[in-house]
Structure 1
Amino acid sequence: MAPASDPMSLAGSPGFLPALTQAVADGHEACITLLADLVRHPSLLGQEQSAQDLIAGVFTGLGLTVDRFSIDLDALRSMPGFSPAVTAPDGRDNVVGIYQPRVHSGRSLILNGHIDVVPTGPADLWSADPFDPVIRDGRMYGRGVGDMKAGIAAYIAAFSALRRMGYQPAAPVFFQSVVEEECTGNGALACLHRGYRADAAVIPEPFGQTLMTAQVGVMWLQIVVTGTPAHVLDTGAGRNAIESAYAIAGHLKPLEQAWNDRACPHRHAAFDGHNHPIHFNLGKIEGGEWASSVPTRCTLDMRIGFHPGQDPAAVRAAVEDTIAQALRTDPALNGVKAEVSYGGFQAEGFALPEDAEVLAELEASHHAVTGGIPRRVAMTCTTDARFFALYGDTPATCYGPHASRIHGIDESVDLASVQEVTAVLALFIARWCGLEPIVEQ
């Protein structure tokens, strides 16, 4: 295909899309192989380094400049968007592949993905080893295969497909593989601290080829409940900390319901299509000392959602006021104490303008490849997109493959959707960044 004089128009030239689709198809097996290799590295929290070694090697092989750096909590602590760490960051790195064009004539881009994965849960409930990926009926199974190693493999495959065609972006592109997305987001925040900015950011999260237009805020908190111990021969002499903990969690439910009420002043218009966008989740409980003793202490770990525009400090105050009122007014909690602390996500929500160019260009690329129009969705979770949109002057969204049972048993990704997402991302890069021909040195 002859080079076009205008790097921004090449993607619309005759024959470009069929050639791109073929280049993506030619690289699909390599993409699947890379995805399987990534899944075989069990990059749980604190164990991401071997997977990052693999990513760094892939970036080097693509001719990218590799920037590998650790998370400096002291440097991040004063930045907006910081979340208290849940584990020591020692020896854990982000990896960024930096591409620079010969001539910067297009719009710059960040392609971001997180390498960390959540725990597997009971391995015996999986149909196969969660870190030994298998393919059945067009799907690959394994922990992290959808959330979100398939997205990382897809953005690498998209760049590779353009190179096979003899082209490269006409603007800087930063390929980010970050840690700690699943608990704080401090990996992406560290990229901002390092100076990474662009005209847009796309994160290929496994949201079924939809375009993310908004996301809720998310906060992690821990409630330590202290009761009064007693022998079970007279349970009335004590206050059961475990039962009291459940009671306190129950008292938070009306707050959840209030924030979901359509008359709530905090409710964001982006979530008009959701009946229940705000979720309070009791995710972990530990308590008790002895089967024949009334338990003294119980610890609850909760995840609560809140609307874009709600100040995290105000959210914390509302939670603490609700608990304090419960302790004052509920006779079942007489004599019970509760202490609230915060670790992990303290993540604000955000919404993109409906006319954001990154949404329009992704929508056009999706339509060109698939013939359909992607749904625009306000997500009831958080992603690292918030850092770019809120603090980095970089409009950000998510567009990625179809996955099922993420964070669950037998997580899987549809491989045909990975190939389609690869083609959409490659076309988006061509449309957003423009292209220049590769000149052999």
Structure 2
Amino acid sequence: SAQVGVLWLQVRVKGVPSHIAHASAGINAIEAAMPLISALRALEARWNDDARRPKEFDGVDHPLNLNIGRIEGGDWPSSVPAWSTFDVRMAIYPGEDLDAAERELRACIAAGAAGSDYLRENAPEIVCHGFRAEGYSLERDTSEPATNARELLAAMHQIVSGSPMTHAPITATTDARFFGLYADIPALVYGPVAERIHGYDERVLLASVKRVTQSIALFIAGWCGLEPIEKA
């Protein structure tokens, strides 16, 4: 029924290298990055406050997830690390502005840096790279095509599975946004039962793949119509 938007940032911190025998002469760039991550966690908590949560995400525990998806730094164990980078993934709600979210993330990192004597004078570099996706809510689309598509898919699902189709928001993003936001085509995300997505034991229920395939076939037939096959 709805999906979050997502943006990525990379934060680059420069330290001061030194032989570990004289560690106090250096600045550890990996350790210097830790307060910045803590500041982002505090921002994540504020963004997940119930008061700013749209109705599509009522009942969803912690819909906006921050992920520090990658961290690198240093060159070998016996030198104080001269550099570190960490990659940030953060979510926003449908309808929220990506540029405004990026500005708030940048301000949050700057505030975290201001609490460090070193980073106050050696600001981290912030690069917006790789991915920016607006959130999308099919639930907000009250057009006739969107209403008809939802009702038809629900009916086909009922025929195949014998149970009502459930609707739920997701705390990730999909390509549905391209159709719904930019092509004026209502986009439904409908699929099989999956567990542990992106995990070591990611899996999908094969019986649900069969049911979904049947439902989609019936949906296509109902939406597009059928023509008789002429015998040769």
> Under a length normalisation based on structure 2, what TM-score does the superposition of the two structures give?
0.91
Q: Which runs of 5+ in 2 are unaligned?
A: none
Tell me which protein shows more helix as a share of its residues: 2
Counterpart residue number, 1:142:
none
2:43 corresponds to which residue? 255
Which residue of structure 2 lines up, in the alignment, with residue 229 of structure 1?
Answer: 17
1:302 matched to 2:88? The reply is yes
- Residue of structure 1 equivalent to 2:111: 325
Q: CA deviation at 1:254?
A: 1.3
1:61 is matched with none
1:361 to 152, 161, 164: 152
SS in structure 2 at match of 1:383? coil
Question: Which of 159, 179, 202 pairs up with 1:388?
Answer: 179
C-alpha distance in 1 between matches for 2:187 and 2:175:
9
Structure 2 residue matching 1:378: 3-state secondary structure? coil
Does the 8 A contact of 2:2 with 2:139 survive in 1? no
Deviation at 1:410, TM superposition (A): 3.4
2:54 matched to which residue of 1?
268
Q: Which amino acid aligns with 2:35?
A: A
Q: Distance in 2 between matches of 1:437 and 1:234?
A: 84
Superposed displacement of residue 408, structure 1: 1.9
Within a 5 Å distance, the mapping from 1:85-104 to structure 2 comes to none
5 Å-filtered alignment, 1:25-424, equals: 213-264=1-52, 267-331=53-117, 333-353=119-139, 356-424=147-215
Residues 278-301 of structure 1: CA distance to partner in whole angstroms, max 9, x if unpaired? 000011111101211110111111
Cα deviation for residue 246 of structure 1 reads 2.3
- When structure 1 is superposed on structure 2, of 222-231 and 232-241 the one drifting more is 232-241
Offset of residue 329 of structure 1: 2.6
Q: What TM-score comes out, normalization by structure 1 length?
A: 0.49
Structure 2 equivalent of residue 176 of structure 1? none
Q: Secondary structure at the match of 2:227?
A: strand
**Identity among equivalent pairs (%):** 47
Q: Using the alignment, how far apart are the partners of 2:12 and 2:148 within structure 1?
A: 46
Aligned-partner Cα distance in 2 for 1:440–1:221: 59
1:270 CA displacement: 0.9
Whole-Å Cα distance in 1 between the matches of residues 178 and 158 of structure 2?
A: 28
The separation in 2 between residues aligned to 1:438 and 1:220, in whole angstroms, is: 50
Report the Cα offset of residue 331 of structure 1. Answer: 4.2
For residues 197-249 of structure 1, give each alpha carbon's deviation from its aligned partner in whole angstroms, at most 9, with x where no partner exists. xxxxxxxxxxxxxxxx0000011111111112222223232221111222211
Question: Relative to structure 1, is the Cα distance of residues 290 and 337 closer, same or farther in structure 2, using a 3 angstrom cutoff?
Answer: farther
Amino acid corresponding to residue 11 of structure 2 in structure 1 = I
The answer as to whether partners of 2:110 and 2:123 remain within 8 angstroms in 1 is no
